[in-house]
Amino acid sequence: MELYENKSSKHNDSITYCLDSIFTNDQVDYRLYGNLPISTFGILINLINIIIFSHADMRRSLVNLFLLAISISDLLLLIFNFFFLLFPLIALFSNSFILYDTYPLILRYSYPLARIAQTCGVYLTLSVSVHRYLGVCHPFQAKRWITGKPVKYAIFGSVIFSFVINATTWLELTVVQCYSNEYHRFSRHIQLTELQMDYTYGIVMKVITYTLVMFIFPFLILIIVNTRIIVALKHSTNMRALNASGKSLLPKTITSPRNNQNKMAIILNSSSTTTGSQFSSTNTNSLRPIVTRAPKSISNLQSAARDSSVTMMLLAIVAMFLTCNGLAFCNNIIEILIFVDKIDNSENESAFEKSVEIANILVSLNSSTSIFIYLIFSSKYRTIVKEYLGLQNVDKAYSGTLSAATITVRHTFDYPFLMHDRISSRGYLSKSTKSRLSTTLRFPISSKHI
């Protein structure tokens, strides 16, 4: 974020005149045609996010509490940035003295509030990344450490820290009286305070504190934590694939052809009333895993897929955050070098000014595009959106076909020994026996496992 310089002039010792033009053409273009539409869109999007994450089904997840807090901080950042960056332009081009006289007061208070919201968003993103890191890389410890209270403490701690670290920003701007040549009357103007222009204060707050708190520390932690998450996720995926390839639904006790024939003979030589009991008593060890293992396997796969989706969603959020804030970090380094007189900015002032405006647009973009990540990776988010839009019946039209296909696939993999090459249905089974066997082996499948 940029500050407004002391752009007022004194024609004599008693009267201070307001400058009519305090923005360059590049600043006007970037803010009106770049930042304004993105900020307007982002405000609407974050209102939607807050409504969705406030839903009772979404509040059950601790991750969603973080995402709700991030949506609130993004909304506040966009609102305060609007009054800090865009409202002064609107006031100056409106030809309204009321807006012209009011915008310095609004800017005076929107600047520190925007800084607080930005800091809060950074550390909420950091908190949710650490939260996911513990869940992925230290799952057993996370069950004891990560509960509702620590998550709420992390959220409130981020808010309090943001207010404390930006406490001095309230003293960096002031509103002074000046005479407007355009309106031919006294008005007000914004300018920097002596504290903000103090060299020692600039070294401590800009060079050290702001750079460490807003860039070095969070960027470093986010990169380390999310790299560990990616490595753990890749390792988990490889292990799951290896486990799935080596696992068989058929127990070793029934892999022998002779064993299969003996058990099939028991079924074929028994009456229909005793087939089920004899089969279960002689094949207890082989049949029972078939009934219980399939739903458990499907449930585990669903849970793993859901956890993987949440992890990928948070990785996408962090990647978007780092990408959109990277230019602001580079601008901060350049600004530090200019401040300590290490480089001369007089020749490249226009280029640096454009870079600052582009960085502001990227910050607004980061706060405005999270809905696309949620829609891609969160099935529950999509479900609630469909519910609010009245589109929940669209999926139900295909549920019958999908359920039938799922049942067919499950029956195919639940009973693979019926497909064994050594047991021919033509040699052993008559039509009536096939029907009796099919009835005996068909088990009800709960819809919640499908």
pLDDT digits (tens, 9 = 90+) for 335-346: 888 887 767 666
Lowest-pLDDT choice from 29-33, 180-184, 328-332, 436-440: 436-440
393 against 12, higher pLDDT:
393
On whether residue 346 sits in a domain, the answer given is: yes
Computed over every residue of the chain, the mean pLDDT equals: 78
246 against 114, higher pLDDT:
114
Please give the pLDDT value at position 30.
95
Residue 81's beta-bridge partner residues?
none
Tokens of 121: 């968003």
pLDDT class of 307 with cuts at 50, 70, 90: confident
Please give the pLDDT value at position 311.
87
In 3D space, the residue among 197, 226, 190, 223 whose CA is nearest the CA of residue 102 turns out to be: 190
Tell whether 230 and 265 lie within a shared domain.
no
Tokens of 318: 């962090």
Mean per-residue pLDDT, 174-182:
91
Tell whether 188 and 269 lie within a shared domain.
no
Measured CA to CA, the distance from residue 117 to residue 71 in angstroms comes to 11
pLDDT class of 41 with cuts at 50, 70, 90: very high
Using a pLDDT cut of 70, give the percent of the chain over it. Answer: 69
Residue 18's beta-bridge partner residues?
8
Tell whether 201 and 255 lie within a shared domain.
no
Tell whether 438 and 307 lie within a shared domain.
no
Please give the pLDDT value at position 432.
46
Please give the pLDDT value at position 8.
52
Q: Among 396, 415, 433, give the residue marking a domain's end.
A: 396
Tell whether 195 and 338 lie within a shared domain.
yes
Lowest-pLDDT choice from 212-221, 301-310, 363-372, 393-402: 393-402
On whether residue 46 sits in a domain, the answer given is: yes
Helix 349-366 and helix 36-53: axis angle, to 10°?
20
Based on the structure, what is the number of domains in the chain? 2
Mean per-residue pLDDT, 208-226:
95
Q: Which domain range does residue 438 map to?
A: 248-282+398-449
pLDDT class of 165 with cuts at 50, 70, 90: very high
Mean per-residue pLDDT, 384-412:
60
Tell whether 66 and 128 lie within a shared domain.
yes
Tell whether 445 and 353 lie within a shared domain.
no
Find all residues with CB under 8 Å of 311, minimum gap 6, and list them.
132, 136, 229, 233
pLDDT class of 431 with cuts at 50, 70, 90: very low
Measured CA to CA, the distance from residue 122 to residue 142 in angstroms comes to 23
pLDDT digits (tens, 9 = 90+) for 135-156: 889 888 887 778 888 999 999 9
On whether residue 261 sits in a domain, the answer given is: yes
CA-based end-to-end distance of the chain? 51
